[in-house]
Amino acid sequence: MASPRPTPSPNPEVVHRSCPICEACCGLRLEVDRAAARVLSVRGDEDDPRSRGYLCPKATAMQGIHADPDRIRRPLRRSASGWKEMDWEEALALVGSRLLAIREAHGKDAVGTYIGNPLGFSLSGLLYVPMYVRALDSERLFSAATMDQLPKNLSSRLLFGDAWAIPIPDVDRTHYLLALGGNPVISQGSLMSAPNVKQRFAALRSRGGRLVVVDPRRTETAACADRHLPIRPGTDAFFLFALVHVLFDEDRVNPGRLAAFSDGIETLRRLAEPFSPDAVASVTGIEAGAIRALAREFAAAPSAVCYGRVGTCTQRFGTLASWLVDVVNVLTGNLDRPGGAMFPRPATGQTEPHVADGAPLPYARWRSRVRGLPEFDGQLPVAAMAEEMEAESAGEDRIRGFVTVCGNPVLSTPNGERLRRALEQLEFMVSIDIYRNETTRYADVILPTTTQLEHANYDFLFQGTAVRNFARWSPRVFEASPGARDLGCVLTEVAARMNGATAEALDDLLFGGMLATFVGRPGSPCADVTIEAARAKLGAVRGPERLLDLMLRAGPFGDRFDDTAEGLSLAKLERVPHAVDLGPLEPRLPEMLRTEGGRLDLAPEILVEDVERLRRALAEHREDDGRLVLIGRRQMRDMNSWLHNVPGLAKGRDRCRLLVSPVDAERLGLREGEPAKVRSRAGAVTARVTVSDEMMPSVVSLPHGFGHVDPAARLSVAAAMQPGANANQLCDENLIDAPSGTSVANGIPVEVSPA
């Protein structure tokens, strides 16, 4: 799909890079006018080995964001008379002095940080945010992860010793794909990064394979599947345990070579006993016979893979469901083999065995002050964020200074109205962002960053979720706006100002630590390379490019700092306009395990203990009485709340509609196109109704990321064209997945009535 072509430039240039809007990272062919800093057309790159010319409507967003008149281009300070521009030195000095004063007066944990989802698409952000977090040294760190995939990170850390060792479906070689809680036709395969997933599913079926979707809604993915099994929201763990029960009960457990380094199989047998298909049928809404048949098909397939995504994470038993997805793959011998669930091999080497530091499990080392919720991997749940700021809740030990990084938590975290009120109580707030949105409008200072077209990039995070190994460099297209700085630079400057250091000193410290990690370590590819030799090859120019070059050259496909070798370096990637195909996923176990003894523990204590909570829920289950629960949904033209201010994507019909089944619409007196009031314990919103047979009875659906109605925000297109309703206002901050602290965004009890 091409964007509308404006008047041709006399000197158009072609630039190839990846799309930075979703995990697929499709290859793009941009025709640009550099003099006017304008993108003339956006097309799929037919020579890209990953996406082969495919792209979706979101690819046009880069130019819309870059040229958006609402975008912030210079630092801003809020004052009694309105927002005023500042120069960078003045802005950074103010931010550093105010945050430092709060920390010195009230302790390091009086300053908190929230990190939003867009950081995952920024090379510099990903490389420098750990340094920022260490420099801040606060226990009050929050991120969008606890509204998304953190249960998968926790289960992966417990099983494999690495929170980002996430098994990815080998979709191009599998014969049977069981998908729960995801809509990859729309998302392009979140945690299964695969451009043009719909075509891949068609190829799966054409080679005789099967696609089975378990979801409360007949999604776009379910519509092209061999079978769709509607499931009651929040019951995926029951369903998956029933599959495990059948595997044991019918002697279909066959882990193959995995048995040699796996522990806990007999414990799994015992844990699964109460969750027979007959016991869970009334809970899940899936007949016992259908569960047994599916377990048999899965176990008998030449290769099979169970895949769960955000719907399996954002529920009461999200960590158990995430764990059981992997358990099903292990028990059938489908983990770490072609056609099953496999581990990508990032070219930057962060999942190589020698990078392991042997650190203990980063879990419950501290807890939130008000509810005592445990941290994981340094983060507290966003469900606790507002209460940790409130004087009436946290008292003197509250968050007083706050930093938001590329996020809009008023719209994207539970009970946004409570958070909005809490932000007003802060002594000082700074936002690193390009928009004055529903959250950053409460900041005292907003520090703008460059857009994707204004900086180079590397698909750092999503090389680790791809269905085929790759590496790709995306060049900068336009010079940065005079008042904007790269995200990594801003993070480093803020950290430096709070610690009486310089940004250069922090960069050098980070670089030195990474050199020691990747170079000269026994067992590493660069065991024979000295740090001095590597440093000389990498040069003295600071910044993310130097750090990336280090990781590439020392990584599994690298040149080992030998310019004459065939391996990767940044210089070589820069000369390739498309993605570099590094081959199919290959078995990596047990070598990549970072667990104690290098073994796969299928029954970690934290999860075994949480099974008791699941057992109690099974015993307490009541038959469906028609009570409604709310789920979310993805849409092709949206990415959370990011793109609603892009005119080309905001145009068209109202997309923030409440989907209701015909049965429920009749029962509740709801009519097509008419407004309905949706209430939960946390709040209430109004949205227009779409009556749809996609929905199973007793389930309604509303997309998240909308609610652009704050007049103090500056999102003129969103407010005029797609304001919508804030679905996360219905999220109850008291409903969480106990082990991970992830908020329940699917299966929220609600009441719906005509407005």
CB–CB of 411/641 below 8 Å?
Answer: yes
Residues 38 and 732: their CA atoms lie apart, in Å, by 43
DSSP string, 525-537: TTTTS-HHHHHHH
Strand pairing category for 468-471 and 580-584: antiparallel
Determine the pLDDT at residue 584.
98
Question: What are the C-alpha distances in Å from 513 to residues 128, 507, 547, 570, 573?
Answer: 12, 10, 11, 20, 24
Report the top-level CATH class of 625-754.
mainly beta
Kindly indicate whether the domain formed by 166-348+589-611 is annotated with CATH number 3.40.228.10.
Answer: yes
pLDDT digit string, tens, across residues 191-223: 999 999 999 999 999 999 999 999 999 999 999
Q: For residue 45, give every residue at least 6 positions away whose Cβ sits within 8 Å of its Cβ, in sequence order, or none.
A: 16, 26, 27, 28, 29, 51, 53, 578
Residues 26 and 194: their CA atoms lie apart, in Å, by 9
Banded pLDDT at 626 (limits 50, 70, 90): confident
The alpha-carbon radius of gyration of the chain (Å, integer) is 25
Banded pLDDT at 706 (limits 50, 70, 90): very high
Per-residue pLDDT, averaged over 693-710, amounts to 96
Determine the pLDDT at residue 623.
67
Phi, psi of 76 (to 5 degrees): -125, 145
Residues 118 and 115: their CA atoms lie apart, in Å, by 9
pLDDT digit string, tens, across residues 141-179: 999 999 999 999 999 999 999 999 999 999 999 999 999
Amino acid present at 644: H
Helix, strand, coil percentages, rounded to 5, for the chain: 35, 20, 45
Beta strands (DSSP E) in 341-484 are 341-342, 363-367, 374-376, 401-405, 428-432, 445-447, 457-458, 468-471, 473-474
Determine the pLDDT at residue 239.
98
Question: What are the C-alpha distances in Å from 607 to residues 27, 88, 316, 602?
Answer: 40, 48, 13, 9
Per-residue pLDDT, averaged over 69-85, amounts to 96
Determine the pLDDT at residue 482.
83
Mean pLDDT value across the chain: 95
Give whichever of 184-188, 316-320, 349-353 has the largest mean pLDDT: 316-320
Q: Of 664, 672, 661, 674, nearest to 627 (Cα)?
A: 664
Determine the pLDDT at residue 639.
87
Per-residue pLDDT, averaged over 532-548, amounts to 97
Banded pLDDT at 358 (limits 50, 70, 90): low
Question: What are the C-alpha distances in Å from 739 to residues 182, 234, 746?
Answer: 21, 15, 17
CATH 2.20.25.90 domain position(s) in the chain: 1-67
CB–CB of 553/559 below 8 Å?
Answer: yes
pLDDT digit string, tens, across residues 21-57: 999 999 999 999 999 999 999 999 999 999 999 999 9
At residue 511, does pLDDT exceed 60? yes
Amino acid present at 222: A
- Report percent pLDDT > 90 for the chain: 92
Report the top-level CATH class of 1-67.
mainly beta
Per-residue pLDDT, averaged over 9-21, amounts to 87
Residues 338 and 49: their CA atoms lie apart, in Å, by 20
The partner residues of 284 in beta bridges, in order of sequence, read none
At residue 3, does pLDDT exceed 70? no
CATH 2.40.40.20 domain position(s) in the chain: 625-754
The partner residues of 169 in beta bridges, in order of sequence, read 341
- H-helix or E-strand containing 417? helix 416-423
Determine the pLDDT at residue 9.
56
Determine the pLDDT at residue 357.
60
Q: Of 284, 169, 190, nearest to 237 (Cα)?
A: 284
Residues 662 and 682: their CA atoms lie apart, in Å, by 26
Count how many residues are written for the chain. 755
- Helices H / strands E in the chain, number of each: 25, 30
Determine the pLDDT at residue 621.
82
Number of neighbours of residue 107 by Cβ within 10 angstroms: 14
Which one has a higher pLDDT value, 6 or 234?
234
Per-residue pLDDT, averaged over 382-394, amounts to 97
DSSP one-letter code for 74: S
At residue 4, does pLDDT exceed 70? no
Residues 39 and 107: their CA atoms lie apart, in Å, by 48
CB–CB of 379/392 below 8 Å?
Answer: no
pTM: 0.96
The span from the first CA to the last CA of the chain, in angstroms, equals 39
CB–CB of 77/474 below 8 Å?
Answer: no
- H-helix or E-strand containing 691? strand 684-691
- H-helix or E-strand containing 30? strand 27-33
Determine the pLDDT at residue 11.
74
The partner residues of 474 in beta bridges, in order of sequence, read 457
Residues 19 and 474: their CA atoms lie apart, in Å, by 9
Phi, psi of 203 (to 5 degrees): -65, -40
- Burial level of 504, CB count in 10 A (0-12/13-18/19+)? exposed
CB–CB of 22/29 below 8 Å?
Answer: no
DSSP string, 608-655: HHHHHHHHHHHHH-----S-EEEE----TT--TTTTTT-HHHH-SS--
The two structure tokens encoding residue 674: 């008419």
Phi, psi of 359 (to 5 degrees): -70, 150
At residue 633, does pLDDT exceed 60? yes
- H-helix or E-strand containing 17? strand 13-18
Could you give the angle at which helices 503-518 and 531-538 cross, rounded to 10 degrees? 130
CATH 3.40.228.10 domain position(s) in the chain: 166-348+589-611
Question: What are the C-alpha distances in Å from 42 to residues 5, 37, 193, 473, 698?
Answer: 9, 14, 21, 18, 42
- Report percent pLDDT > 70 for the chain: 98
Residue that is written with structure tokens 């990272």 in the block: 25
Residue that is written with structure tokens 């062919």 in the block: 29
pLDDT digit string, tens, across residues 554-609: 999 999 999 999 999 999 999 999 999 999 999 999 999 999 899 999 999 999 99
